Chain A
Amino acid sequence: MNNVLLFALLALGLLSVAAAIILYFVAQKFKVIEDPRIDSVDEVLPKANCGGCGFAGCRNFAEATIRSADLNKSIEGLNCPVGGNNVMKEVAAILGLTADEKDPLIAVIRCNGGKKHSPSKVQYDGATSCAFAHNLFAGEGGCPNGCLGLGDCEVSCNFDALFMNHETGLPEVNDKCVACGACVKACPRFIIEMRPKGKKDRRIFVSCINTEKGGPAKKNCSVACIGCSKCFQVCPYEAITMANNLAYIDPVKCKLCRKCVEVCPTDAIHELNFPPRKPKTETEVTTTNSTSESLA
């Protein structure tokens, strides 16, 4: 009886010693030498693994920064939108480089149609996904470019920053947005755009992407951009471009003078987080301001 136990222990003991020796040599032979900087860069990253930087995850991004630092002696073009400038500064410090200051971005919903301004003409009772609905038809309101209101962007957001407002039927972005870009990819109609947050969070943008001519666009939606070019003419900084019956405000050139907002006949241009205008302007403008604030 004792012998059996002894043999078993001996056999197992010898086996484990043999395995340990083999493993030791294998480990020596196939040793992977990893740059210790990857670990330290990975440490300071937010670990959201959102993919907003364009890489598969934070670790992947860390590897890319090291590669870029070794090859080009800079980390230009690499940016962690979630961490922002602070994190990029830390990363640069680890690598002994300097990071460019970047304006933080935020998701902007470029459609203000929804249930209020683009009332439903037909009823959709198919599966609840914008991707399906986009393939099937133009949308309940009839606008072929407008928000379908089925919330693919809400599902894609991992940061609790984007929610559907079921009263307006439009998504709303709050200040938790880290500009990872997941919603931009999720939207089948490319309504969501990443724009710089702007000074004091102030932004001006055209809240419409409809490229139809004025008549048909206005027929479906009361706040559509009709391509009248009034804003284009009034802009003193050449920040506005017209293409396909649609105005676009370049956020870099825009100096936030708000002249375009006043002339827009359909209230398609939105201003966010501005103080109320002087009393001479009509109260109407301030009301649009407050509604659009929640839309930001």
Chain B
Amino acid sequence: MNTLKTFRIGGVHPAENKFSENAAIETLALPKQVIVPLGQNLGVASKVQVKKGDEVKVGQLIATGEAFISANLHSPVSGKILKIDEAVDASGYRRPAVFIEVVDDIWDESIDRTPQIIHEIKLSKQEIIQRIKSCGLVGLGGATFPTHVKLMVPEGKKAEFLIINGVECEPYLTSDHRMMLEKPEEIIIGIKILMKALEVDKAIIGIENNKQDAISKLSEICKKHNGVSVQPLKVKYPQGGEKQLIKATVNREVPSGKLPIEVGCVVQNVGTAFAVYEAVQKNKPLFERIVTVTGKNILKPSNFLVRIGTSVTDLLEKAGWQPETAGKVINGGPMMGKSLSSIEAPIVKGTSGILVLNSNESYREKINPCIRCGKCITVCPMGLEPYLLARVSETGMFDIAEGSHILDCIECGSCQFTCPSARPLLDHIRLGKGKVAHIIRTRKN
């Protein structure tokens, strides 16, 4: 038997708990009101283009991304702009947002709503990138990096591989899995479009081996398409990390502090590939996404197709949660997700799942002193020394932190997951990363 491919160093294997993998994607009923935060993408927040009282249609542009790393924003519903005010986001801080009252469901005429699949790619490379930009696509894996920026290969560099991330290494989450099962044709066409935009002839879809049905389904379709192949991977967290996935699929290592294009790779999520299909072939902007609602607390773990701006409460209620026993509501998966401080917070482009943990599951263990067992070093997928980075960040020795490549940390949390003393390693490293990045910025100026 062939051993499955995976990345070389580190990694952990938390309990998978994929409760919702057999739940078909359900379309959630329209809410009464949506709150669309303006800063949904990595980089600069979008600039609002509508005013109070305006009537909007589904898919109408409401905010534009004007900086280089910024994305457009479209109305997810039709109705009236109630106000442009600050709204509490997932972290409890108030951020500018557009409040829209939902009236009917009138879509913009330019969007093709027919169900048939369009195979032929008519647009040219430049047109594709332009369309993706105008449709406000961002990476749907969670980092929300604007997609069009990733597709603009810098001068002097050449992309050789397009790597599609269907790994979904986070426990609990199944939104990408369901997407691959239910929209395989569309995903492959999306990949073809991305390949055309990047001018590459090889695309590899990396899928972890616990999703056999998705692997067989996509492999079947890939036979009809030249250059696209499926690569089953060993189940290991954090394989969905860009650098880990490149190592696992094409066995190349991204140098420290560099982007994947340095080794000729561009990584996109399967969700993004589907959004690319919809944007380019159907002219549909990014205003809805698939969100997994799961956890032992949830009666009916589900995958919902929801409009951006829907409140988390709506999803939780639809999936049947039990507020009495819920301990924590987490935005994202259990490894990298952050706990929500308000369940009124809206769903944004980067929300891949809502996880509810029971009160007996969610607690912090007592922090004990470091026993120098070295487990964190063994599991770090970037080959760093988490115990050292945490220690120097704690004591403020930022020169050592910088020299020990603290900025290479991908914040996967494997170190903290494995630490037998339950030390808050990642918390310290995150703080140190921020400080070191700040020091470097001031040094440049």
Contacts and interface: CB of A to CB of B under 8 A. Distances in A.
Interface string A207-231: 0000010001000000000000000
A132 interface: yes
Interface string A114-129: 0000000110011101
A122 B427 contact: no
Interface stretch (A57-65, A137-145, A167-175, A269-277): A137-145
Interface in B78-128: 86, 88, 91-94
Interface in B395-412: none
A144 B87 CA distance: 12
A136 B94 contact: no
B427 A132 contact: yes
A138 B427 contact: no
A2 interface: no
Interface centre among B342, B363, B434 (most CB of A within 10 A): B342
A127 B424 contact: yes
Given A138-B91, A138-B93, A144-B94, A125 B364 contact: yes
A135 interface: yes
Contacts of B339: 136-137
Interface in B334-377: 338-339, 341-342, 362-364, 367
A131 B429 CA distance: 12
Contact of B431 (A122, A131, A137): A131
Interface in A254-296: none
Given A125-B363, A137-B92, A132 B424 contact: yes
Contacts of B342: 121-122
Given A122-B341, A126-B364, A216 B91 contact: no
Interface string A6-49: 00000000000000000000000000000000000000000000
B430 interface: yes
Contacts of B434: 135
Interface residues of B, number: 19
B92 A126 contact: no
Interface in A165-189: none
Contacts of B93: 137-138, 144
A239 B427 CA distance: 42
Nearest to A142: B92
A162 B310 CA distance: 45
A144 B89 CA distance: 12
Interface string A84-128: 000000000000000000000000000000000000011001110
A132 B431 contact: yes
Nearest to B422: A127
A129 B86 CA distance: 27
Nearest to A122: B341
Interface centre among B338, B362, B427 (most CB of A within 10 A): B427
A139 B434 CA distance: 20
B338 A126 contact: no
Contacts of A135: 430-431, 434
A99 B97 CA distance: 54
A139 B92 contact: yes
Contacts of B364: 125-127
Contacts of B86: 212, 216
Contacts of B362: 125
A216 B367 contact: no
B338 A136 contact: yes
Given A136-B338, A138-B341, A144 B427 contact: no
A137 B94 contact: no
A136 B430 CA distance: 11
Contacts of A126: 364, 424, 427
Contact of B92 (A127, A132, A144): A144
B436 to A, nearest CB: 14
Interface centre among A127, A129, A132 (most CB of B within 10 A): A127
A216 B341 contact: no
Contacts of A121: 341-342
B365 to A, nearest CB: 10
A212 B94 CA distance: 9
Interface centre among B92, B363, B434 (most CB of A within 10 A): B92
Contact of B91 (A129, A131, A136): A136
A213 to B, nearest CB: 8
A138 B92 contact: yes
Interface string A190-216: 000000000000000000000010001
Contacts of B92: 122, 137-139, 142, 144
Contacts of A125: 362-364
A131 B339 CA distance: 17
Contacts of A212: 86, 94
Contacts of B338: 136-137
Contacts of A216: 86, 94
Nearest to B424: A127
A72 to B, nearest CB: 28
13 contacts: A121-B342, A125-B362, A125-B364, A127-B424, A129-B427, A131-B431, A132-B424, A135-B431, A135-B434, A138-B88, A138-B94, A142-B88, A144-B92
Given A132-B431, A135-B430, 14 more contacts: A122-B342, A126-B364, A126-B424, A127-B364, A127-B427, A137-B91, A137-B339, A138-B92, A138-B93, A138-B341, A139-B92, A144-B92, A212-B86, A212-B94
4 pairs of A and B residues whose beta carbons are closest in the complex: A138-B92, A127-B424, A137-B341, A137-B92
